[in-house]
């Protein structure tokens, strides 16, 4: 196994259960799993950089990224934009895509999932994602600690 230097994740459907909650006044809520937050701390303690790449562009995600001390946050990146964001981070860190672990759940994650050295998806990911050759299909669903599960698998092998 190539040593992981960078861990990247999607948000909706991975760090959250994919639900979007709205109040009558238009406020939006997302539920994050605290165990996934601890996963970022475990990665940091092991010298692995972290990042979030998402199609959405919200203050909620910016606040969550700050709280978990993600090294990188790219919002508003759809489809191939996620892959280009990851390549940009790799260039900044002087690492290859083979040294990247990424967890994603939906169609807009596929291009990036196919390029990284270690790809995983939540148990409830889109079937097209689950069909990617070599992808790790985790036991946990999005928003239910799947990031922590993937991180523990990575750290157990490093």
CA distances from 104 to 22, 53, 126 (A): 24, 10, 10
- Asked if 112 contacts 103 with a C-beta cutoff of 8 angstroms, the reply is no
Residue 36 labelled as part of a binding site: no
CA distances from 89 to 27, 33, 38, 50 (A): 32, 25, 22, 10
Residue 12 labelled as part of a binding site: yes
Residue 105 labelled as part of a binding site: yes
**What is the radius of gyration, based on Cα positions, of the chain?**
14
Q: What DSSP designation does 98 have?
A: G
Q: Which residues are annotated as a binding site for substrate?
A: 12
Q: Which residues are annotated as a binding site?
A: 10, 12, 105
Q: Which residues are annotated as a binding site for Mg(2+)?
A: 10, 105
């Amino acid at each position: 196994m190539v040593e992981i230097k960078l861990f990247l994740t999607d948000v909706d459907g991975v760090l959250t259960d994919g639900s979007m909650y709205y109040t009558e006044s238009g406020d939006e809520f997302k539920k994050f799993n605290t165990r996934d937050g601890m996963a970022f701390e475990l990665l940091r303690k092991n010298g692995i950089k972290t990042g979030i790449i998402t199609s959405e562009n919200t203050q909620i995600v910016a606040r969550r990224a700050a709280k978990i001390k993600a090294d990188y946050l790219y919002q508003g990146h759809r489809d191939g934009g996620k892959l280009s964001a990851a390549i940009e981070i790799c260039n900044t860190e002087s690492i290859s895509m083979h040294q990247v672990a990424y967890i994603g759940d939906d169609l807009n994650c596929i291009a990036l999932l196919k390029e990284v050295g270690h790809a995983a998806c939540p148990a409830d990911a889109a079937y097209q994602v689950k069909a990617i050759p070599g992808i790790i299909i985790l036991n946990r669903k999005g928003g239910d600690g799947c990031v922590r599960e993937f991180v523990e698998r990575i750290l157990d092998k490093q």
